[in-house]
Structure 1
Amino acid sequence: MWNIVTFLGDSSITVPAALLIALWLCSNRCWSLALRWVICFGTAILFVSLSKIIFMGWQIAPALLNFTGVSGHAASATSVYLSLSLLVSHGAPRRRRLLVVGATSCLVLLIAASRLVVKVHSPSELVFGVALGIVTTLLFARGLATAGKLPRPLAGRPWMALLLALVMLAANGKPAPTQDLLMRIAMSLSGRSSVYGRLQPL
């Protein structure tokens, strides 16, 4: 079960889902909101990637923490799923909106916890990841709050749910090779024949 939960945060799902959100906004002529989303999510992914490359290439990390880079699963899942929950509940009664966002928050925390269970990330890496995702969502939410009432098709939950289901089917259960790609980039930039690994056990 935990492997299924943790896969929900894999970039093979979250990155296409993020692109679908941007396309969804563009299809409703929400150009500035779409641009804000792309910038916010793209910056978060860039931050995650740089934190991992810096550690793998030069072993630079915060002192006294078992830290090898920000958790990409936690950051991207928090960003995508929380932002999506804000979109699909936009304009809904406050109680329903809180229910949707609350349920999504539980899912995000479950995905983050799964990374501990499968022994891939340390607590500090997950805390940084979730925090980065929350900041990304808040920046996007600020734009959503000033966008006024969104076009009616944007509130069509079944249509978006179908697109997300197609993303998951397209992923075919295979994790994206992002870690291998970052390892190659780190070795290329640092000139090393291997990358630095975790010093403390999980």
Structure 2
Amino acid sequence: MWNAISNLGDAALTLPVAITCTIWLKLSSREFANRWMLLLAAGMALVGVTKILYAGCGVEIPSIGFRVISGHTTLSTAVWAVTLALLFRSAGGDARVGAVAGLVVGMLTAVARVFDHAHTVPEVVAGWLLGGAIAALFVRALARSKARMFRPAVTAAGLLMVTTVAYGHHAPIQAMIDKYSPSVCARAMAGMASFF
């Protein structure tokens, strides 16, 4: 059961959903599409940095059991909160209600990651807070705007199709991080040594 819930945060599912939302936003409001892409990219960069520092350089905070920010939790929280906010808004409801539902999905993903022994509680809390911040910065602006959403029924059907096809697949991102992080850290350390 926990693995099925954990799959809601896998990049193989959340990134296609996020891209579908980006396209929908581009057709509705270029400003919101750009905001969404920037916020999500910044959040995932932060997750990536912690993963590279841990996998490549061994950086961690053992006293609190923190190695990395949970990427599954971050993506699940941010992507589902924004997706549901957009769907609620386009159906005539309050975007903030959809965002809260997405935050709950992110929380369930966090719990699943802990029970799967993939992350510690501090790691999923960090991921949930980061994903929540991304969603809040986006949804707050969306809730205040008058932007009209492009063909909501068509987009909802597209999101359902993407979710159905992508669910259960696993992105090889962690394997790539494990493989390339040591050389990235070695180069970064060499560069810092030559700088000083």
Taking structure 1 as the reference length, the TM-score comes to 0.82
| 1:24-35 paired onto structure 2 within 5 Å | 24-28=24-28, 30-35=29-34
**Partner amino acid, structure 2, of 1:186:** S
Match of 2:157? Answer: 162
Q: Displacement of 1:109 after TM fit?
A: 1.1
The alpha-carbon distance between structure 1 residues 152 and 14, as it changes in their structure 2 partners (threshold 3 A), is closer
Q: Residue 3 of structure 1 corresponds to which residue in structure 2?
A: 3
Show the counterpart of 1:48: 47
Cα offset, 1:138, TM superposition: 1.6
Aligned residue in 2 for 1:72: 71
**For 1:157-193, what per-residue CA distance to the aligned partner results, in whole angstroms no more than 9, with x for missing partners?**
x43332233223433622100101111221221349x
Maintained 8 Å contact 1:36/1:143? no
Q: Percent identity?
A: 27
- Work out the CA distance in 1 between the residues paired with 2:51 and 2:139: 27
CA deviation profile, 1:8-43 (whole Å, cap 9, x unmatched): 110001111111111001112x01111010000001
* Cα pair 1:67 1:125 within 8 Å, conserved: yes
Q: CA deviation at 1:93?
A: 4.7
Q: Which amino acid aligns with 1:9?
A: G
Q: CA RMSD in A?
A: 2.2
User: Which residue matches 2:108?
Assistant: 110
Match of 2:194 in 1: none
1:25·1:31 contact (CA, 8 Å) conserved in 2?
Answer: yes
Q: Per the alignment, in what secondary structure is the counterpart of residue 174 of structure 1? A: coil
- Whichever residue aligns with residue 66 of structure 2, its letter is F
Q: Answer whether contact 1:74 1:111 (CA < 8 A) is retained.
A: yes
Given that residues 56 and 68 in structure 1 are in contact (C-alpha distance below 8 angstroms), is that contact kept between their aligned partners in structure 2? no
- Given residue 69 of structure 1, which amino acid in structure 2 is its aligned partner? V
How far off its partner does 1:142 sit?
3.4
Which whole-Å CA distance do the structure 2 matches of 1:49 and 1:93 have between them?
A: 35
Counterpart CA distance in 2 for 1:174 and 1:121 is 20
Equivalent in the alignment of 1:84: 83
Aligned to 2:9, the other structure's residue is in SS state coil
**49 and 152 in structure 1: CA distance in 2 versus 1, 3 angstrom threshold:** closer
Higher helix proportion: 2
The amino acid across from 2:124 in the alignment is L
**Structure 2: runs of 5 or more not aligned:** 188-196
Q: In 1, distance between residues paired with 2:183 and 2:165?
A: 31
1:189 to 184, 187, 191: 184
Structure-1 residue corresponding to 2:150 = 153
TM-score (structure 2 length as normaliser): 0.85
Note the C-alpha offset of 1:55.
1.1
AA aligned to 1:135 is A
Q: CA deviation at 1:123?
A: 0.2
